[in-house]
Amino acid sequence: MKKIIAILLALIIAFGWYVSIFGVGKIKPISEDMKLGLDLKGGVYVVMEAQTDKKGEELQKLMNQTQAVIEKRVNSMGLSEPTVTIEGKNRIRVELPGAEDADAAIKAIGRTAQLQFALADNTVVLDGSMVKDAGTSLDKEKGGYAVTLKFNSEGTKAFEEATRKALNGEVVSKVDGVDDKAIMIILDGQIISAPVVNDIISNGEASITGGYTQEKAREDAALIRGGSLPVELEEVTTSVQAASIGIGALQMSIIAGLIGIALIFIFMILMYRVMGIAADIALLLYVLIVLWVMAAMGSVLTLPGIAGIILAIGMAVDANVIIFSRIKEEMVNGKSLRVSVDSGFKRAMATVIDSQITTLIASIVLYQLGTSSVKGFAMTLMLGIVASIITAVVVTRVYLNLMAESKLFGKKILFGIKENNEATFKFKKEFSFIKYRKIFFSISIIVVVVGLLVGGIRGFNLGIDFTGGTMLQLDMGKNVKTAEVQNILKSHDIKAEIVHAGKSNEQIIIRTIQALDNEKRQEVLSDMYKTFDINEKSVLTIDQFGPSIGDLLKKNAVKSVIIASIGMLIYIIIRFEWKFGLASIAGVLHDVLVLIAFYGLFHVPVNNPFIAALLTVVGYSINDTIVVFDRIRENLGLMKKSQLDKLIDRSINQTIVRSLMTSLTTALAIIPLFILGGDVIRQFTLPLIVGVAAGCASSIFICSPLYYVMCQLTSRSKYKGKKVRA
């Protein structure tokens, strides 16, 4: 029966990968079925903030109305899968994949004032809410195109009365250039059309003529059809991504991911032999589950999402490593191979679940408080955690049980145990950690204090998403002098940092501390086009962040760490005890401070991905600590006659190989991404690399000694040189 299950699983995994790569029948390959984010597909996104004092249900109703109006506008643009979502409480996020003309797209969705119809004396006669539909048609009389209008019942009556007044000469124009008999169509306070009334229109339909081009007719029809926004919106964030940049980043990220996965597969086989083969089979299914669940949910794959998948693969190995370590311990204690496998799985389950749930808590908080790209990162982590538990518990166990009963594979040496029952990879000497705790504490304090002081004195290198500002990246097609670009910016009274990028330095990156709105950006770009003989296709990336976004990010960063820490503390107290919980959270805060100190010491840019990485480090750090604490808790019941310091040292030494292995496999997944993944991926992976190292170190050198210190302080007579009681 076990062989049949193992064969079926292997066939399912093989078939799943075949379908994922090539597709079968109506099932498309995963590459075609997966939706790509703007950073991969190219396009435009804009975040706009409602300028209102309303709160609670009134604000929610207002934002829902605004969302509906903007959806009407963007759906008329003919783009593939535009999305309009409410972000936070008072912001609207509009994503337009595949949009090529960023200026036109931003102008269309950014038209925030009410649509109005007014007589030539500025008397408003009806508004956009009374327009039922707007379209285009051929202008048979004057040539070109016309904009057609259809009004609802209220609008029909109002428009009929307006045309009667205009035609009967009851109106005297107060607007230069506008005929007395005209009806002005006003959007954003600007007259987009002022057709002259020739007849009284009572059927609820009208036609605006005057030699429209097809493109202009469609644009005006779309704006009119979009109707009125119930609130004024202010552009706070804008991002434009050229498809060529996204495709290149996707290709390099996939290559980096494949290299990372291959390194993990090889590493697992080298370190765990046949157990490593079982883990690799489970990981193949794990990747399939994550990718197809994402596709089924309609999740959008972004560059941060790819980083999340690769990181989750590295962390997925952790469940297997915990199980394998337990199996090897059972064999070292003299148990048979088959008994060791069963016992190892049973003894490892609590540790696996505890360590993964604490990471899951951090991921949930990250998803709830993160922005769009960060949510994608968090989603892949959450899926990865659930999938890793399933594959480790089910798939790995099936194959290990089968191998343990096999004559070919059922040998201890193939499971990493020598004939004398010693593990093939272990430290021969046990280290004393509690004895040197003051040295470890001092080193950590020095690192944190120095980093924070340097960052505080010199100033942290805050990115534009924290400070507010604009970043433009252009392909100039040649090497240009930064002084020439600087002159153009000075003519617009803009201070900026300008650096070269790309192959042969043919690209330039302009960073300003001013948040340039779309109109100001287009003025600068127009001058750039004329001066350097380029066009809008040369624009590779635009990122603009208002100052309010930076404040929100800072608040969310602090809020995320606090909420995640409280959630994990409650869970640990329930599963362990309060001293374990406090020591764990102290370790988390230590790792957060180490990461911040690293950024301060090396002047690394602090930006939006930093928050995602920070929360991931929080989850990863406590994951590592939980494994050590789980062993301490177990040994408190088994080693009742041992002194507490010796017991803790013993527990750390028993789990130190597992801690190093997990950190190494995670690093193997991340480092290729850091090297090959491009700037966006590096922004995620750099703090993760630092965080993985800090998390591994704190679980060994900080958290466990802290637990010992708390035990001394709370029960000095019990633990100071005394034997441990259950």
User: What pLDDT, on a 0 to 100 scale, did the predictor assign at position 680?
Assistant: 67
d(CA 366, CA 308): 12
For residue range 625-680, what is the model confidence (pLDDT) as tens digits?
888 998 898 898 888 778 999 999 999 998 888 888 888 888 888 888 888 877 76
CA angle 359, 363, 369 (to 5 degrees): 145
User: What pLDDT, on a 0 to 100 scale, did the predictor assign at position 721?
Assistant: 41
Task: List beta partners, residue 475.
Answer: 507
* Contact criterion met (CB below 8 Å) for 52 and 231: yes
* Maximum alpha-carbon separation in the chain: 109
Is pTM, for the whole model, over 0.75?
no
pLDDT for 723 beyond 70: no
pLDDT band at 161 (very low <50, low <70, confident <90, very high): very high
- Where do the H-state alpha helices sit in 677-703? 678-698
Q: What is the mean pLDDT of residues 221-228?
A: 69
d(CA 552, CA 23): 43
Distances in whole angstroms, Cα of residue 396 to Cα of each of 316, 339, 399, 402 = 12, 16, 5, 10
d(CA 158, CA 708): 81
Instruction: Report the candidate in 401, 426, 407, 430 with the shortest Cα–Cα distance to residue 329.
Output: 426
For residue range 291-335, what is the model confidence (pLDDT) as tens digits?
888 888 877 777 667 767 777 777 778 888 889 988 988 898 888
User: What pLDDT, on a 0 to 100 scale, did the predictor assign at position 112?
Assistant: 45
Which 3 state secondary structure label does DSSP give 135? strand
pLDDT for 718 beyond 60: no
| The token pair that represents 127 in the structure block | 């508004």
d(CA 80, CA 129): 26
User: What pLDDT, on a 0 to 100 scale, did the predictor assign at position 111?
Assistant: 55
User: What pLDDT, on a 0 to 100 scale, did the predictor assign at position 370?
Assistant: 67
pLDDT for 214 beyond 50: yes
Q: Please state which of the ranges 397-406, 587-596, 636-645 shows the lowest mean pLDDT.
A: 636-645
Count the neighbouring beta carbons within 10 Å of the beta carbon of residue 384: 27
pLDDT for 400 beyond 80: yes
pLDDT for 532 beyond 70: yes
pLDDT for 136 beyond 80: yes
For the ranges 23-37, 400-414, 603-617, the one whose mean pLDDT is highest: 400-414
E strands, 336-493, are 469-475
Q: Please state which of the ranges 94-108, 471-485, 703-717 shows the lowest mean pLDDT.
A: 94-108
Residue in the structure block whose two tokens are 């690399």: 689
What mean pLDDT, rounded, does the chain reach? Answer: 83
Which bin fits 114, alpha (ψ -120 to 50), beta or left (φ > 0)? beta
* Contact criterion met (CB below 8 Å) for 553 and 608: yes
pLDDT band at 425 (very low <50, low <70, confident <90, very high): low
d(CA 228, CA 514): 30
Q: What is the mean pLDDT of residues 50-75?
A: 83
Q: What is the mean pLDDT of residues 392-410?
A: 89
pLDDT for 449 beyond 90: yes
pLDDT band at 621 (very low <50, low <70, confident <90, very high): confident
Which 3 state secondary structure label does DSSP give 658? helix
Count the neighbouring beta carbons within 10 Å of the beta carbon of residue 25: 6
Looking at the chain, how many residues does it have?
726
Q: Please state which of the ranges 150-164, 262-276, 346-360 shows the lowest mean pLDDT.
A: 346-360
Q: Please state which of the ranges 211-225, 363-377, 508-522 shows the lowest mean pLDDT.
A: 363-377
